[in-house]
């Protein structure tokens, strides 16, 4: 006799302070104990962890008729990841516009793409963050330009765990480490769009770190929607659509400044990415934060637009909301970044700190 098939379970819930709340599973009271067990759990839990909580809530000897713990977990995960119609994520566009109304009062500096080495790009993030902290430069939106493919590691990741060294060397992929947290980014000069925001932490006053990601990404999501992409925010730090992940963000905070940067997939070579990144493979070092495996949906296929047109749409979307003046990196900024490449970002001691 074939095993019974699992049926979808209707899930309603909310997320409060990063925790599941008001979980309701279907219309049957048989699921009340399971729903109660899920309330208060972190909204970031994956399917396996959610399924484990479901199993623990089912009394010994009792079967879930017509479904499985995994099916319930998938439904819960989908309910968390799918925002209400029209929402950026948790917030509506109107709410974000109200939250960020003060951003239009900043003298934003807009820096266009300029091909630079991977080490220079991560060094410039530190330079611009520290210069804003000292009042030497205004809040800035910088679009990164790349002169070589790279893997950009999060602050606490291990090279050995994240990167296939032989594949990276064979493909000419440089490995660097940034000052922000999060997972590894695989970038190719024409395959990715990366930008950084440096802004005073007062611009995000009253928001948790989790909520600040959505606020900082809302202008991008609205710009992508203007290109026909059904983009939305997925906690904690992803931009996604119905086809999968579009981009991921990371932050660092120092000296009263928030550095928020995002890499968006435009036309990545998935085969090369799979060769270079060790996502899902055995961990080789006990130290280091692991990257999460997520399906990536590049913008080139979704929009049919050239890369420059997408970058321009993002720039124009930001300027339309908050203003900004086109600028260039100064000789002092470039010299400071070059010095950091020598002392830090181009040095093995920094890149391989967690080996």
* Tens digit of each residue's pLDDT (9 = 90 or more) over 256-272: 999 999 999 999 888 89
Which CATH architecture group holds 93-351? 2-Layer Sandwich (3.30)
pLDDT at 270: 85
User: Residue 101 carries which DSSP code?
Assistant: G
| Higher per-residue pLDDT: 141 or 32 | 141
Q: At 166, which helix (H) or strand (E)?
A: helix 165-171
Average pLDDT, the chain: 90
pLDDT of 38 strictly over 60: yes
For residue 197, the model assigns a pLDDT of 98
Average pLDDT, stretch 103-110? 98
Residue 17, token pair as written in the block: 């302070």
pLDDT the model gives residue 84: 74
Give CA–CA dist 52/34, Å, rounded: 11
pLDDT band at residue 4 using 50, 70 and 90 as cut-offs: very low
Q: Does the structure show a pLDDT above 50 at 118?
A: yes
DSSP state of 341: I
- What is the reported pLDDT for 128? 98
Q: Is 285 helix (H, G, I), strand (E, B) or coil?
A: coil
Of the ranges 9-18, 70-79, 271-280, which one carries the lowest mean pLDDT score? 9-18
| Dihedral pair phi/psi, residue 110, rounded to 5° | -110, 115
Q: Where are the chain's structural domains? A: 11-81, 93-351
The yes-or-no verdict on residue 346 having pLDDT over 70 is yes
Report whether pLDDT(335) > 90.
Answer: yes
Nearest of 115, 119, 172, 154 to residue 346 by alpha carbon: 119
Neighbour order of strands in the sheet with 238-241: 232-234, 238-241, 244-254, 257-265, 192-200, 140-143, 109-111, 325-326
What integer pLDDT is reported at residue 2 of this predicted model?
38
What is residue 62's DSSP assignment? Answer: -
Residue 289: pLDDT band (50, 70, 90) is: low
Local confidence band at 90 (pLDDT 50, 70, 90 cut-offs): confident
pLDDT at residue 292, rounded to an integer: 47
Positive or negative torsion for Cα 344, 348, 349, 351:
positive
Structure token pair of residue 134 = 């000292």
Q: Is the pLDDT of residue 291 over 90?
A: no
At residue 85, does pLDDT exceed 70? yes
CA atoms within 13 A on the CB side of 229: 33
Q: Is the per-residue pLDDT at 279 higher than 70?
A: yes
Higher-pLDDT residue of 108 and 269 is 108
**DSSP helix, strand, coil percent of the chain (3-state; round to 5):** 40, 20, 40
Look at 74-78, 150-154, 182-186 and tell me which has the smallest mean pLDDT: 74-78
pLDDT value of residue 208: 94
């Amino acid at each position: 006799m074939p095993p019974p098939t699992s049926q979808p379970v209707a899930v309603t819930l909310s997320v409060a302070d990063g925790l599941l709340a008001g979980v309701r599973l279907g219309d049957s009271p048989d699921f009340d104990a399971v729903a109660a067990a899920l309330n208060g759990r972190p909204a970031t839990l994956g399917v396996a962890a959610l399924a484990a909580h479901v199993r623990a809530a089912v009394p010994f000897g009792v079967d879930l008729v017509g479904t499985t713990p995994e099916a319930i977990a998938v439904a819960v995960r989908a309910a968390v990841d799918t925002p209400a119609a029209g929402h950026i994520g948790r917030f509506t566009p109107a709410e974000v516009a109200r939250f960020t109304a003060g951003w239009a009062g900043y003298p934003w500096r807009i820096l266009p793409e300029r091909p630079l080495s991977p080490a220079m790009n991560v060094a410039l993030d530190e330079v611009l963050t520290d210069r804003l902290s000292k009042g030497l430069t205004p809040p800035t939106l910088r679009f990164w330009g790349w002169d070589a493919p790279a893997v950009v590691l999060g602050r606490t990741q291990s090279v050995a765990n994240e990167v296939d060294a032989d594949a990276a060397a064979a493909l000419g992929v440089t490995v660097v480490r940034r000052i922000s947290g999060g997972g590894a980014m695989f970038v190719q000069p024409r395959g990715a769009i990366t930008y950084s925001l440096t802004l005073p932490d007062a611009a995000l006053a009253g928001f948790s770190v989790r909520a600040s990601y959505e606020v900082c990404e809302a202008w991008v999501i609205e710009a992508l929607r203007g290109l026909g992409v059904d983009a939305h925010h997925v906690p904690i730090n992803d931009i996604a659509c119905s086809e999968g992940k579009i981009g991921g963000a990371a932050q660092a905070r120092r000296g009263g400044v928030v550095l928020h940067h995002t890499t968006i997939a435009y036309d990545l070579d998935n085969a090369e990415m799979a060769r270079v990144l060790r996502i899902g493979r055995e961990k080789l070092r006990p130290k280091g934060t692991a990257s999460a495996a997520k399906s990536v949906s590049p913008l080139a296929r979704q929009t049919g637009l050239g890369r420059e047109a997408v970058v321009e749409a993002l720039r124009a979307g930001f300027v339309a909301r908050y203003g900004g003046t086109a600028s260039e990196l100064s000789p002092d900024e470039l010299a400071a970044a070059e010095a950091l490449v020598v002392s830090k970002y181009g040095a093995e001691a920094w890149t391989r700190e967690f080996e």
